[in-house]
Structure 1
Amino acid sequence: MPSPRLLKGRWSQSRNVYAITTITHRRQRFFDDADLAALAVATLQRLQQEGRCINLAWVVMPDHIHWLMQLRGGTLAASVQIMKSRCSRLSGTDGPLWQRGYYDHAVRCDESLRSQALYIAANPVRAGLAEQLGEYPFAWCRWFDRAP
């Protein structure tokens, strides 16, 4: 059950764009494991294939995920819950994979989607995991030339 503080004022609407951050349990670096990181990427891609969202950008960092998406079907909470539960089930890790809840920001129409997407995709560069945009295998944005 998500923290009431994280749920306060949360409202989702189809076709809105959301920037989401979800963090691993105790900030453990589960996604240092390339197989687990690839599993998380495949899960995000599958949610789009199922029509739940349109992915605009994502990055799977060692201890968290940033995800920019346009909601298409269901609620934001359901999409995040499905993503987290699929990753947990498929990972085979002992104990919890995720912290409870998540952070989200509804992107307003006057904000630049491209800027937000590039900010997300550049997260590995800022963290020292890559030297330039496009090097990190678990980051993608639709405005960058590299296919996921």
Structure 2
Amino acid sequence: MNSHEFKKVFHRGNLPHLQPLGGTFFVTYNLANAIPKRILDKWKLEFELQKKAILDNSENIKEDLDKLHKRNFLERDKYLDACRNDTLCEINGELAQILVDSINFWDGNRIDLICYCIMSNHVHLVFRLLDKTETDTPKYLEDIMHSIKQFSAKKCNAILNRKGDFWQHESYDRLIRNDEELFRIVLYVLNNPVKAGLCKNPFDWKWTYLQEKFKKIML
């Protein structure tokens, strides 16, 4: 294994998080003001206590930590879905279109875009990292997400005539291990606006995208 095949980032407590090149990822990022700090602090404390209990007592640490991360994500996503803050998907769609453009810019260059769903205060995104850039340099998940969030934040803040953080600094990301998990996550993303009561059919939601080859397989 050479130095470019994996990159470690340390944004999940003290546990290193590996981002393999060529990996397929499920990413969720939300507005900076979407979840109040007091709730984030509460969740963080609960998470750390549960993580410590797993590390101290579990006979299957990897599996139990994975379940903990999933529960933590679902709790956050449920909260975000319940908040009807229309900042991203306002009637004229100007902000949502900026997000679409920020994602599509890298499709075919740094990523193979599989699906996305832009909600009122958060974004779900599934893509595969391509192995190399046009300059033959590695493509890392954190670099892609930094670019997407930085570009869209600058543009959206300009439209809203404001400054400061647009996105919450940390994003949720999950390495997808196999096709079964990929299909399950794609369905979850597509059904997010349905689950939130915004439409009856996933593709009635304007800000949903699914790659054509996946439509042929899944629909």
Q: TM-score range by the shorter chain?
A: 0.7 to 0.9
In the superposition, relative to structure 1, how do residues 26 and 40 fare at CA in structure 2: closer, same or farther (>3 Å)? same
- TM-score w.r.t. the length of structure 2 is 0.60
The alpha-carbon deviation at position 45 of structure 1 amounts to 0.8
Residue 3 and residue 9 in structure 1: after superposition, are their counterparts in 2 closer, same or farther (change >3 A)? Answer: closer
Bigger relative CO (Cα 8 Å, ≥ 6 apart): 1
Q: Which moved more, 1:106-115 or 1:95-104?
A: 106-115
Alignment of 1:67 onto 2:125? yes
Q: Does structure 2 conserve the Cα–Cα contact (< 8 Å) formed by 1:3 and 1:100?
A: no
Distance across 2 between alignment mates of 1:56 and 1:7: 30
Instruction: Find out whether 1:84 has 2:91 as its counterpart.
Output: no
Structure 1 distance, partners of 2:104, 2:23, is 18
Cα 1:97–1:7 shift into 2, 3 Å: farther
2:102 maps to amino acid = T
What's the offset of the Cα at 1:78?
0.4
Answer yes or no: is the 8 Å Cα contact 1:21–1:103 preserved in 2.
yes
Q: Could you tell me how far apart the structure 1 residues matched to 2:32 and 2:177 are?
A: 30
The 1:105–1:89 alpha-carbon spacing in structure 2 relative to 1, beyond 3 Å, is: same
Deviation at 1:112, TM superposition (A): 3.5
Question: Closer, same or farther in 2 for the Cα pair 1:7/1:64, shift >3 Å?
Answer: farther
Question: Which structure would you say has the larger Rg?
Answer: 2
Matches for 1:3-22 after TM superposition, within 5 Å: 4-5=11-12, 8-22=15-29
Other-structure match for 1:23:
30
Pick from 40, 53, 66 the counterpart of residue 99 of structure 2: 40
Counterparts of 2:14 and 2:33, CA distance in 1: 20
Counterparts in 2 of 1:4 and 1:116: CA distance versus 1, 3 Å: closer
Query: Does the Cα contact within 8 Å between 2:26 and 2:126 map onto a contact in 1?
Result: yes
Quote the RMSD (CA, aligned, Å): 2.1
Question: Quick one: distance in 1 between partners of 2:165 and 2:101?
Answer: 20
Deviation of 1:75 after TM superposition, in Å, equals 0.6
Q: Is the 8 A contact 2:10 2:16 kept in 1?
A: no
Gaps of 5+ in 1: none
Structure 1 position 7, deviation (Å)? 7.7
Work out the percentage of aligned pairs sharing the same amino acid.
Answer: 20
In the alignment of these two chains, the number of paired residues is 143
Distance in 1 (alpha carbons) for counterparts of 2:172 and 2:87? 19
Quote how far apart the aligned CAs of 1:98 are: 0.3
State the secondary structure of the residue aligned to 2:17: coil
- Which stretches of structure 1, 4 residues or longer, exceed 6 Å deviation after superposition? none
Indicate the residue corresponding to 1:144 in structure 2: 215
